Every structure is written in structure tokens, then in C-alpha cells.
Amino acid sequence: MATSKAQAFNPRTKTKWDGYTACGIAEGFDDPDNDFGTLNDKNIEAWAYLISTGDVWHLQGWYGRQAAAIIDGGTIDKNGHINWVEVDNHKEDL
């Protein structure tokens, strides 16, 4: 079940998510502290938002391919739930 966009607030980074913000952070143009291609907490939450809402599957192909790789890697599941234990255990690998 997709997350309601009205509920798209994550307490870990205190970010209120919407599609534009999530795309901007996932792509790297809306977060000056994020290097393109890295997965920090905010970036992971952005991908989780896009996956949970289903928006990622309606964007250009790059988003879908990136999301599929993140899901296959176990960082985020197909419903957009973040595996924070996995993230925290492998922070240096991300």
C-alpha cells in the first residue's frame, strides 16, 4: 500500500517530503551537502518516498533503474520501508 503524501514526514531527518523535493535530493540538485550518487540518510529517505508513493515508476527510466538497484540491495523494500539496521551497519559501504 502506498504511503499517503500527506503523511510523508520522516523524523530521522525531519524532512517533509513531496515529489519535487524527493527527486531533487535523489538526483543531487536540491541538497548542497549531498554528493551525487551517495546514499546518506536524507537521500535514502528521498528514494523511500519515491518508492512508497509509486512515483518512481512514472519518472524517467534512470529513477526506476536506481530504485530497483536500491531495492535489490536491501536498503529499501518494494513498499518503500527503509531497513535502517542495514543502513547503519553498512554506512561506510553506501
> Is the separation of the CB atoms in 60 and 23 below 8 Å?
no
Residue 9 lies in a domain: no
Three-state secondary structure call for residue 3: coil
Residue 48 lies in a domain: yes
Residue 6 lies in a domain: no
Which range of residues forms the domain containing residue 72?
A: 18-93
Residue 61 lies in a domain: yes
Residue 32 lies in a domain: yes
Residue 52 lies in a domain: yes
How many domains does the chain contain in total? 1
Residue 87 lies in a domain: yes
Tell me what the mean pLDDT of segment 24-40 comes to. 71
Tell me what the mean pLDDT of segment 6-31 comes to. 77
Of the listed ranges 58-67, 68-77, 85-94, the one predicted with least confidence: 85-94
Beta strands in the chain (DSSP E): 9-10, 15-16
Residue 12 lies in a domain: no
Q: How far is CA 64 from the centre of its chain?
A: 12
Q: What is the pLDDT of residue 92?
A: 61
